[in-house]
Chains A and B, each alone.
Chain A
Amino acid sequence: MLKGQNGCATKPINLAKIATDYAAQTKKLARRVVICAGTGCVANGSLKVYRAFVEGIAKAGLPVVTELTGKQGTLVDGILVSRSGCQGFCQMGPLVTVEPDGILYTRVKEKDVAEIIEQTLKRNEVIDRLLFVNPADGKHCHGQNDIPFYTRQHRMVLKACGNVDPEDINEYIRNSGYAAAEKAYVKMTAQSVCEEITFAALRGRGGGGFPTGKKWELTRIQPGEKKYVICNGDEGDPGAFMDRSVMEGNPHSVIEGMMIAALAIGADEGYVYVRAEYPLAVKRIRKAVVEAERLGLLGDDIFDSGKNFRLHVMEGAGAFVCGEETALMASIEGKRGTPRPKPPFPAQSGLWGKPTVINNVETLATVPLIINMGAAEFRRLGTKGSPGTKTFALTGHVANTGLIEVPFGATLREIIFEIGGGIIDDAGKPFPGGFKAVQIGGPSGGCLIEEHLDLPLDFDSLRGVGAMVGSGGLVVMNKNTCMVKMARFFMQFTQNESCGKCVLCREGTKQMLALLDDIIAGEATEETISLLREVALAVQKGSLCGLGKTAPNPVLSTLRNFRAEVEAHIVQKRCPAGQCKALVMPEIIAEKCKGCTACVKKCPVGAISGEVKKPHRIDPEKCIKCGACAQVCKFGAVVGV
């Protein structure tokens, strides 16, 4: 049967054939050079590296392949140069993988390409200089298999990111892509899909951890012809970029997840709402949708099931709050992205008043995996309450930053010290014993401290200690970080991003920020803490949406875990981390002072006095904390600025 319309797909789609054709076509490929084209690596010049490979290989007289057209019969032969999504280890980018050898070159520059072609591609030699060196033992790591950053992870959702070419649907299909969708559409019913996902106990990765199967089932049983599926790709938590990587690196997995969700609830239309700051993700998702439509995976009568599903891609316009589901729907409807009270929940009355399922990118990307491996198998991973894996964006003061994926139940210690390679100082040098805290879940999360390092991470355990998985940002902080300033930073963020609709959030964040500013400026009194706590609790309990309800978390967790540090600011007017400028007080250490008088001359307000060759002192009344003395002192005798 031939679907005539604008040269559309031949039906039925034969995924197996596409895969075998593709495999047959590519079997003669000698080698494959995969250049990471995730945002991080692109920023570091990976596209130049890509071009250098294409040109260089051709110049070296080797056959180079850049595109697999997937047309039948054509046998491609040579070295395939392809681009992948983010491979996770952005900090070491641009990353270049040579397959099938499994060599991973890091920090590859354009000028290194000729050498790689010459030595590795032609002579099968590994270039040590470009390998990752394990800082722990100084050994060169050959590839993902021996780099601790990777070996400690369990990459499932992210597995294909960094392997497959995100712009080539055939590659996705070759790696059993769309098999889960086929299984669902051909062999399963809406109800059985819901049951399977419920049995898998999959929980939403968008922050709340709501059981996905239950959400689908609730939507499925709603009456009404018209329903929607929305993929929430508005990832706005500062410090998180997991969803971006999935959309950039494996867009088809998201589409496949949405197809399955659509079948499960009976929707025929869907939206992918992507944050505007992610142009590459938008581009790749758009392209993937077109490709899927071309093959008839999206459109009418999918897999001859009689079911239709159409997908639109919408770009956000810069509002964090649009990650909140009701705000996101308002935004799709062309309105100001302000949340509305729930109930009614989206499952009852969502987009344009129709029952709607809204899921996070990662949640949806996990769905095909579950359908393929089976719910029982899936539940073996992770913890009982939170099966499966979770991606985290590991950033801050750790040696290895990047995107990681671990099963639920992994501990912070494993993540920070084994995968992350430990704490670093502000200059990037190892800082043993420098761990102070880790902020989990972004500005809506909380900070965890030393005593939480061995807590198995999952939705429930984190909630138990007043934090949350959130979107999965993990920002590690070393001992030089002032927690009051950190709390202020997060409060500034939520205050900026508050939609302004509800009183407690709009005005409450403003006042919490002002109170934190007082503390930092040394103007706080004993009452400040109790007032801060009082507002924080009211905002937490009384706000309209999740943004307001979680905005006080950083404040509350700082008050809980770092009470002494906060009090030091207020009572002793001292910032233990030495970060709050208004609270520093330069002091001359008598033992170190040689009495050279250099500082006396430099001080703009004449606050320093003392006899020549005798220890000097600073008059705290006069001092304006400019730090000029500390700069000029050759003996390091001035401290505290």
Chain B
Amino acid sequence: MNAKTTLTIDNREVRIEGEKNLLELARKAGIDIPTFCYHSSLSVYGACRLCLVDIEGRGIVTSCSTKPEPGMKIRTHTEEIRGMRKIAVELLLASHEQNCPTCAKNTTCELQKLARKLGVGEVRFKPTLRPQPLDRTSASLVRNPNKCILCGDCVRACAEIQGIGAIDFAGRGANSCVVPAFGKNLDEVECVNCGLCASVCPTGALTPKSEIEAVWKDLDNPEKTVVVQIAPAVRVALGEAFGLEPGKIETGRIVAGLKALGFDQVYDTCFAADLTVLEEATEFIARKTVGEKLPQFTSCCPAWVKYAEQFYPGLLPNLSSCRSPQQMFGSLAKKILPEKLGVKRENLSIVSVMPCTAKKFEAKLDKFRRDGMPDVDHVLTTQEAARMFEEAGIRFRDLAPQSMDMPLGFKTGAGVIFGASGGVTEAALRYAVEKIKGVELDAVDFHEVRGEAGLREAEYNLDGLQIKVAIVHGLANAKKLAEAAARGECAYDFIEVMACPGGCVAGAGQPVSKEPTTRAERTAALYEADKMLQLHKSQDNHLVAECYQKHLGEIGGHKSHELLHTSYRSRRRICGESLSLLDGAQGEKLKVSVCVGTSCFVRGSQKILEALVKHVQENSLENLVDVQATFCFERCGDGPNVRVGETVIGKCDITTAIKAVEEKLAAAKS
């Protein structure tokens, strides 16, 4: 080998091939250097001090932050280094809640693994943990600060990949912690429930919220008929929980396992995905034809939907009004199954197995309830399903595959590829292109929309109709397009957004894998599954067609709108964000809020606010009117915005604002 391009690790010569750091290089050479705070897709943090290596002539450095240089002589496990790693883990354990057997991360926790691997036999230090309460407020996640080792992986994931920053470090030194703003609960801040933080968290500090007990309860209840839907991405990952290779398609064994658990019917979310394709593509063609509400954003990722509701309320009309496949399935199932299975609606329990934590949040939204009952009763993650198999003593590997129940278990390949980033777009194209051109597609694969890049785009000329599509994953990538769209500078017609990098296959509900290749293997398996199926286009799903005939009427019609579509609302990012400027008596008051967000501010909203406060004071209206400074109504283009009661007045000025207040007051009086 050429000495100019190699270095030695533990006396072995290794070629440098553009690795970012020594850690990656060592991994390539088959040496697993322990880490907590290194994550290949996140920025380097250098805090856990486990990845120490000894470079001849330079001393001990962290391998995660050191670039490989030719000629370096590196040793990765000298006596000194082993000792230091042990001390570091021992120190962490001393400030950690040590109840591993009952921890959600038991056996998958990195701290536990490293303590074992490094041979930490005892903790000689005094325990220093000051127990903090758990945060169970989120529908999707549980935050246990007592298990946090402050590696910052979650913080960087949320900020760098999702562009949100819902959780961050607070305090200093021994008081450092990772919390949402002001130590609020997760459900009070801008967290979108994607669970990325939980999937990078090495310990049990952030974990998906389990609904296992609730599902057992329904299964154990003889009154209930419990049916389950499984999402596309689940079938290519669940096996990993039982030591099978990533990317093995395990649909049959999963069905068998679920049946063994006691589920009455096992269905496929892909059926609903086929529905989604028809509805969403139809919606798109309609919009494209008249040229309005474009670009159309997909709406099947609930994390993205919440993100848009919080940060881009102005774009909500651009979101497809389609429910996610999970919710389409839920409302349809609750509609048709009682009759078909001969159960009372209230005795029908719908469970979904999802690769996702945000689906838990979605299923609990009020808008997805009918007659006081949720459309989807419980959401299990892939991990939870596997755990239930374990609890029931089901030997997954030994199961004999079974097939899904009909009709809701029937799908085409289009529904299956929903699980990968780009899949929704491809499935929609398989329908739309045919529909627009009016001729059958000869090749159903759209390779240009597949792949790993954070933003992918493709352009089609369909008989003169020019269509430009984009696929993004990771909300930080979505943000860029949303910004452009909000400014009206977005050239795309159709944008697929998935919050999780890679799409649902890499969702936070899936078994966590440290192998960098896992994601690609699962994705490949989904496309493989598509190939293996007979049908590849949603429009070819005859059971879907039958469903329209029997229950839904026309695609995009009235009935389907009721069951398969939804609406959105703008959401606060954080509780208590307004700044009350006037304080009179308590009680019902007319709420007047003036937006003082940057763009309204620039347009003089502060003057309006001043005038309003003055007006209220001069006329002694303090007991009737409450003036607040808020931000932002996300209608920055229309600024300055003033909200009087429920009405938002755009391009407002002092006179208009005062007039509106007086009118409302007069109306209230009469």
Contacts and interface: CB of A to CB of B under 8 A. Distances in A.
Given A514-B126, A541-B80, A504 B88 contact: yes
12 contacts: A340-B46, A495-B174, A499-B172, A500-B176, A503-B91, A504-B49, A504-B91, A506-B150, A506-B173, A507-B94, A508-B87, A534-B83
A514 B47 CA distance: 22
Interface residues of B, number: 38
Which 4 residue pairs spanning A and B have beta carbons closest together?
A500-B176, A341-B46, A341-B65, A507-B91
Interface string A531-547: 10011001001111000
A500 B46 contact: no
A336 interface: yes
A499 B46 contact: no
A163 B98 CA distance: 63
B216 interface: no
A340 B171 CA distance: 17
Contact of B128 (A498, A510, A531): A510
Contacts of B84: 504, 538, 541-542
A319 interface: yes
Nearest to B64: A341
Contact of B49 (A495, A527, A544): A544
A503 B172 contact: no
B62 A503 contact: no
Interface of B: 44-50, 52, 59-60, 62, 64-67, 80, 83-84, 87-88, 91-92, 94-95, 124-126, 128, 149-150, 152, 169, 171-176
A504 B65 contact: no
Contacts of A507: 88, 91-92, 94-95, 128
B176 A534 contact: no
Contacts of B45: 501
Contacts of B83: 534, 538
A511 interface: yes
Interface of A: 319, 336, 340-341, 343, 495-504, 506-508, 510-511, 514, 527, 531, 534-535, 538, 541-544
A544 B87 contact: no
B91 A495 contact: no
A542 B88 contact: yes
A497 B172 CA distance: 8
Contacts of B173: 495-500, 506
A542 B47 contact: no
A511 B174 CA distance: 11
A379 B124 CA distance: 52
A527 to B, nearest CB: 8
Contacts of B50: 503
B91 A508 contact: yes
Nearest to A518: B126
B171 A500 contact: yes
Contacts of B91: 503-504, 507-508, 511, 535
B174 A506 contact: yes
A495 B172 CA distance: 10
A531 B91 CA distance: 12
Which one of A501, A507, A511, A543 has the highest number of Cβ atoms from chain B below 10 Å of its Cβ? Answer: A507
B90 to A, nearest CB: 9
Contacts of B128: 507, 510-511, 514
Which one of A343, A510, A538, A541 has the highest number of Cβ atoms from chain B below 10 Å of its Cβ? Answer: A538
A371 B124 CA distance: 56
B178 to A, nearest CB: 11
Nearest to A337: B172
A340 B45 CA distance: 7
Contacts of A319: 172
A542 B44 contact: no
A511 B94 contact: yes
B172 A500 contact: yes
A340 B66 CA distance: 12
Contacts of A544: 46-47, 49, 62
Contacts of B126: 511, 514
Nearest to A545: B46
A336 B169 contact: yes
A503 B49 CA distance: 7
B176 A503 contact: no
Given A341-B44, A500-B171, A511-B125, A541 B60 contact: yes
Contacts of B169: 336, 500
A498 B174 CA distance: 8
A502 B47 contact: yes
B174 A535 contact: no
